[in-house]
Structure 1
Amino acid sequence: MSLTSRILIAMAAGLGVGILINLVNATGWLWPAMDYGLNEIVVVGVFDAVGRIFVASLKLLVVPLVFVSLVCGASGLGESSRMGAMAAKTLLLYLITTAIAISLALLLGTIIRPGDGIGMGEASTFASQSAPSLKDVIVNIFPSNPVKAMADGNMLQVIVFSILMGIAISRSGNHGQQIRAWFENMNEIIMKMVGILMELAPYGVFCLLAKLFAELGAGAILELGLYFSTVLLALLLHGFGVYGLLLKLLTRVNPLTFFKHLRPVMMFAFSTASSSATLPVTLRTAEEKLGVDNRVASFTIPLGATINMDGTAIMQGVATAFIAQAYQIDIGLTGYLTVILTATLASIGTAGVPGVGLITLAMVLQQVGLPVEGIALIIGVDRLLDMIRTAVNVTGDSMVTMTVAKSEGAWDQQVFETEAKAETQKA
């Protein structure tokens, strides 16, 4: 059985077991042993422990994978003038897709109007954290201590340091070639570690979803059904429609084959709700299934996991429209344009970890004069939507990577098509 099939089965089993446990907890039906602490042992104990270990194992590989892989890629591009052009194209595509995402979200939010008729409760106890300003984001890109940046998991700083080291290696003659060979060997070892972890993925996915739905149940979706459906519609339209159209227009690649290759990545992102934790899987898939050269993938994918948050931007757009409608506040065309600009720039400073979108949403609401307390209306279903929008985020990272690789002549069509045939034969 393929890894994709095993993960799909694990996801379905996790959803089913989690919802069943939630129903048993709510009704006390069928499982009186729950009253004797079995819920704490199974859900809080086993499921939570295995899920957290799985996510921690993924995050364990993020910094060494990004550092080593990016040094290899930058050292290969450092002698040419393509690094600057590739970086410019990557940043431009990420900003354009984010702007499209937030515009689509606001359009659907104003057409469907999910906030109309919402009864307002008491003020929220949500404590918003101040999002970093654009100036702080730019200044903080450059590390003063690369070791501290790696220890803290500050990926933008790690990326900058890795690129500088790669360029220096490419210009250091024979000494640089020896170091580059060492990094390439280390990269092979780290990718092997990723492969080992992938074999254990179904168990981690099962435990993560079982614990989540054991705590939330299916009722959390029903309470905010229209808001949930609007965000979900926007995510699906952007994730499959916009990305598929852009991929077809810019690369002439079959979008269906692209999405087929990307299924394991999207499922990992859905399970972990973290672009950073999914990064090892995304990078491995880009190189081994999409046919993207390591020199490109090692730059665009870590950068995308750090700054490309289209799914988060969609949530912020729909949530802004929803909260404005719930409070009966008309922010006007200027307000919506401000939301587009603010959410696009805020995505640069959004870390790829679960739930961080609520922090930047607070900043967006403040910019257009909406009450931050409105976050209380959506916080109940945000964890579920966070999983879906993370899958959209990593899809966007891979789409931009494919586009940049094709434009740079760093895409292997034979790998792309061979993997497609292999998957068809397995099916």
Structure 2
Amino acid sequence: MAVTESEKDRDADGGLVSIRIPVWWTLAGLVGGLLVGSLLAGTQVEEAVLAITAPIGAMWLRALQMTIIPLVGALLVMGISQLVEAARAGAVARRMLGWMALALVLGSVASAVLMPLLLDIFPIPAAANALLAAGANGPAQEVPGVGEFIASLVAPNLIAAAAETAMLPLTIFFALFAVALSRLPRGQGDVLRRFFRALGNAMLVIIGWVLWVAPVGVFALALGVAVRAGGNGAFLTLLHYILTVSAMGALTLVAAYLLAWLAGGVGLARFARAVLPAQTVALSTQSSLASLPAMLESARTLRLREETSDFVLPLAVAIFRATSPGMNMAVAIYVAHLTGVALSPGLLAAGIAVALVISVGSVSLPGTISFVISIGPIALAMGVPIEPLALLVAVEMLPDIMRTIANVTMNVAVATATDREIER
């Protein structure tokens, strides 16, 4: 059973629960559903089979959606609280957080600009229409004016905002709430943090149950897709999706080399040789945590101070995923193109804002769960249907390879840049 990026066990001190997802079985469910649907397309039993599989797929999709808001709230409170604590750790931590913030912002902005251009140059295959699934043919997204957009950043009624899945004001509220916790007396803040940690764990248990039966839900959804468009078109679309989204992750990988060179003062060839062992471990494990010993060895090869690397790299693994906002934005933009949603600059800005904040809360999750929890709110903030995510999650293990390699490389680059700043 594969372990995806950032999956890790937590100790008994109230950390996140450890969940293992049957990703290979989920992929098998996707492939099996597409194959069976292709065989049934145009036959007399097509409608009878869809009458059974369509409700199963819809029910599984709804089960996947129902945990998004409470889990996002809990993870944001936990993640931002951890970030605030890290910022208080001293000058080294603040320099490190500065480089991290720069990488996250540039990654999300680059994706918002370049992903639409990439899809214009290499358009989504015409046979992709069936991946729209249910809900893709709903009412067109209204583009708000500037004043309306600014006013929408604050929700006067959080319950109503949650009912309407208005993710941007909800995200802003939970981010402010997490920062406010740091200003409370220690005892009060600890009580609330324990509450949100328990809430997050409960939601993780539920979503773990939902994802455990993902092979069945994905099979049912994929069967309907193949009946409508044929398996070949769906397979071609998924391959196109994997390559274009991974290309946005490659931008972060390239940026890591440039950061080590321009800010860290390390030659490109030397940095590439030093980080190669860590990248190899990342490729084989798809886990930044498992790559940490190799990253520390890369830092030794680069002759970074031990007090820098031993502090920066473990902290980076805990709170930093460089590819998160950029690649998550790329997925949301891909689904927008897939479903015909026009993305205005305002909607892209909303997506970037949510992507940056959400990336803080999803670091410690398995890749399959973070895919749903991270991209769902971004898509909702941009007015993009989230139904296609239920199928795309089945192939996330492949873009996740690029995520892990780029994350590991950027972690070492941030340590290199931070160490050089200390020398000055």
Structure 1 length as normaliser, TM-score? 0.55
Which deviations, in whole Å up to 9, do the C-alpha atoms of 1:325-359 show, x marking residues without a partner? xxxxxxxxxxxxxx9xx7665434569679x89x9
Contact 2:249 2:326 (C-alpha < 8 Å) held by counterparts: no
Alignment partner of 2:54 out of 33, 48, 67: 48
Which deviations, in whole Å up to 9, do the C-alpha atoms of 1:193-214 show, x marking residues without a partner? 2222221111111111012222
1:21 aligned partner: 40
Alignment partner of 1:100 out of 114, 126, 141: 114
Are 2:176 and 1:169 equivalent residues in the alignment? no
Give 1:93's aligned amino acid. G
- Specify whether residues 353 and 19 from structure 1 end up closer, same or farther in structure 2 by C-alpha distance, changes over 3 A only: farther
Mapped partners of 1:256, 1:235: distance in 2: 25
- Specify whether residues 73 and 88 from structure 1 end up closer, same or farther in structure 2 by C-alpha distance, changes over 3 A only: same
Contact 2:109 2:326 (C-alpha < 8 Å) held by counterparts: no
Alignment partner of 2:253 out of 234, 247, 253: 247
Mapped partners of 1:147, 1:407: distance in 2: 42
Contact 1:132 1:349 (C-alpha < 8 Å) held by counterparts: no
| Number of residue equivalences | 301
Question: Displacement of 1:55 after TM fit?
Answer: 0.9
Mapped partners of 1:91, 1:21: distance in 2: 46
Contact 1:51 1:205 (C-alpha < 8 Å) held by counterparts: yes
Contact 1:296 1:404 (C-alpha < 8 Å) held by counterparts: no
Are 2:205 and 1:192 equivalent residues in the alignment? yes
> For residues 383-402 of structure 1, what are the structure 2 equivalents within 5 Å?
none
Are 2:199 and 1:179 equivalent residues in the alignment? no
What secondary structure, in the 3-state scheme, does the structure 1 residue paired with 2:41 have?
helix
Which deviations, in whole Å up to 9, do the C-alpha atoms of 1:216-251 show, x marking residues without a partner? 3358x49xxxxx97x878645432344135236427
1:261 aligned partner: 286
Contact 2:78 2:197 (C-alpha < 8 Å) held by counterparts: yes
Are 2:8 and 1:8 equivalent residues in the alignment? no
Question: Displacement of 1:143 after TM fit?
Answer: 1.9
- Specify whether residues 315 and 22 from structure 1 end up closer, same or farther in structure 2 by C-alpha distance, changes over 3 A only: same
Give 2:118's aligned amino acid. L
1:347 aligned partner: 348
Give the share of equivalent positions with the same residue, in percent. Answer: 22
1:309 aligned partner: 329
Query: Which structure has greater helix proportion?
Result: 1
Mapped partners of 2:194, 2:61: distance in 1: 30
Question: Displacement of 1:64 after TM fit?
Answer: 0.8
Alignment partner of 2:172 out of 154, 160, 171: 160
Unpaired runs of 5+ residues, structure 2, are 3-21, 89-93, 127-136, 258-274, 288-315, 355-374, 416-424
Contact 1:67 1:159 (C-alpha < 8 Å) held by counterparts: yes
Mapped partners of 1:159, 1:211: distance in 2: 34
Give 2:286's aligned amino acid. H
RMSD: 4.9
Question: Displacement of 1:15 after TM fit?
Answer: 0.6
Structure 2 length as normaliser, TM-score? 0.55
Contact 2:27 2:394 (C-alpha < 8 Å) held by counterparts: no
- Specify whether residues 9 and 386 from structure 1 end up closer, same or farther in structure 2 by C-alpha distance, changes over 3 A only: closer
Mapped partners of 2:393, 2:348: distance in 1: 13
1:204 aligned partner: 217
Are 2:76 and 1:70 equivalent residues in the alignment? yes
- Specify whether residues 139 and 95 from structure 1 end up closer, same or farther in structure 2 by C-alpha distance, changes over 3 A only: farther
Deviates more, 1:131-140 or 1:182-191: 131-140
Which deviations, in whole Å up to 9, do the C-alpha atoms of 1:34-58 show, x marking residues without a partner? 3xxxx444312x2111111111111
- Specify whether residues 108 and 73 from structure 1 end up closer, same or farther in structure 2 by C-alpha distance, changes over 3 A only: closer
Mapped partners of 2:54, 2:32: distance in 1: 16
Mapped partners of 1:135, 1:395: distance in 2: 37
2:149 aligned partner: 137
Which deviations, in whole Å up to 9, do the C-alpha atoms of 1:25-82 show, x marking residues without a partner? 4xxxxxxxx3xxxx444312x2111111111111111011100111112222335376
What secondary structure, in the 3-state scheme, does the structure 1 residue paired with 2:218 have?
helix
1:417 aligned partner: none
Which protein, 1 or 2, shows the higher relative CO under an 8 Å CA cutoff with sep ≥ 6? 2
Give 2:143's aligned amino acid. A
Contact 2:33 2:220 (C-alpha < 8 Å) held by counterparts: yes
Mapped partners of 1:189, 1:197: distance in 2: 13
Question: Displacement of 1:385 after TM fit?
Answer: 11
Give 1:254's aligned amino acid. Q
- Specify whether residues 405 and 236 from structure 1 end up closer, same or farther in structure 2 by C-alpha distance, changes over 3 A only: same
Mapped partners of 2:57, 2:338: distance in 1: 30
2:6 aligned partner: none
Contact 1:18 1:213 (C-alpha < 8 Å) held by counterparts: yes
Give 1:247's aligned amino acid. L
- Specify whether residues 235 and 317 from structure 1 end up closer, same or farther in structure 2 by C-alpha distance, changes over 3 A only: same
Give 2:279's aligned amino acid. N
Mapped partners of 2:317, 2:350: distance in 1: 27
> For residues 208-287 of structure 1, what are the structure 2 equivalents within 5 Å?
208-218=221-231, 221=233, 235-247=241-253, 249-250=255-256, 254=279, 257=282, 261=286
What secondary structure, in the 3-state scheme, does the structure 2 residue paired with 1:24 have?
coil
Mapped partners of 1:166, 1:104: distance in 2: 37
What secondary structure, in the 3-state scheme, does the structure 2 residue paired with 1:67 have?
helix
Question: Displacement of 1:96 after TM fit?
Answer: 1.1
Mapped partners of 1:385, 1:159: distance in 2: 20
- Specify whether residues 24 and 202 from structure 1 end up closer, same or farther in structure 2 by C-alpha distance, changes over 3 A only: same
